[in-house]
Structure 1
Amino acid sequence: MADQEPSLLDAFIDVYMNSLKYLDEFVSEPAKEFHLSFEQYLILREITRHRQVTLMDIASERQVTRSAVSRQIKTLLKQGYLEQQPDENDRRRLYLIATPTGAKAERVIRERISTRFQSWVDVYGEDRAKEILTFIRDFSQLTRLKK
């Protein structure tokens, strides 16, 4: 067993170096034309899907700090993809609204990601894609439990 561990570890390292670290590139490429990271796209997606979304809603949903989301939102505001709209009852509360430019960018990126994902499913098949998804979910849950 001890002899197998280093080779298994080496295989995992090899997969990471030659495959997994490029997964982010594969996923984020469709948003590059709009000068958005994949994370920024996901925030824009959340805002276009729901009404009355606040910065705190996004931070809470993603289980990250307010400042981490704030940096991403600043970029989206600066690029004209989002606007802030005060709550009529509490002017301190700001809702994030997608501009027409932001809504269009979200739609185009979503279509590109969908096409890209479907090509991946076409290669591996739906059953294999579900197996991979199940493994990633299990890995994520176990990693969180060990923290």
Structure 2
Amino acid sequence: MGLIMAEQEESLLDAFIDVYMNSIKYLGEFVSEPAKEFHLSFEQYLILRDITQNTNVTLMDIASKRQVTRSAISRQIKVLLKQGYLQQRPDENDRRRLYLLATPAGTRAERVIRQRINSRFQGWIDLYGDDRVHEVLDFIREFSQVTRMKK
């Protein structure tokens, strides 16, 4: 009985690896495609989105929200600054604090990318239906929570 169970688990693992290699990995590419024209990664787009949707955003605000290091966000911000999508403005009361602001080019890029992402996502909803999309989201959330608790 133990050998049959081990073979079933191995077969399940093989199926999971196959799904990852042929589907889940593609999901990242699917999501990041709309930002490529603007030479942005999906993560950089998300940072740009946060900045366009909020006021007085600092590098530390973004790092805290994403639960990553300041240096990880700093690298992404440098790209956005270099490409002219962001600018920095010192706080009038504390010149050491720098606020991040979207430039007109950054605002336009965020809007176009958001529209493309929304269109792609709507295509998923049209194809699979609202209920199925919610089921998948609920499963991914549950999977993520359980996986994090077991670390």
TM-score by length of 2: 0.96
Aligned counterpart, 1:70: 74
Alignment of 1:98-113 (within 5 A): 98-113=102-117
Paired amino acid for 1:119 = G
Corresponding residue to 2:128 among 108, 119, 124: 124
Superposition deviation, residue 3 in structure 1: 2.9
Rounded Cα–Cα distance in structure 2 between residues aligned with 1:7 and 1:122: 33
Question: Cα RMSD over matched residues?
Answer: 0.7
What is the DSSP-based 3-state SS (H/G/I as helix, E as strand, rest coil) of the residue aligned with 1:2?
helix
Amino-acid identity (%): 78
Structure 2 regions of 5+ residues with no counterpart? none
Q: Give the number of aligned pairs.
A: 147
Q: Distance in 2 between matches of 1:74 and 1:91?
A: 19
Partner Cα distance (2:30, 2:7) in 1: 35
Match of 1:141 in 2: 145
Larger radius of gyration: 2
Q: Please report the TM-score for the alignment, with normalisation by the length of structure 1.
A: 0.98
| 1:11 aligned onto 2:12 | no
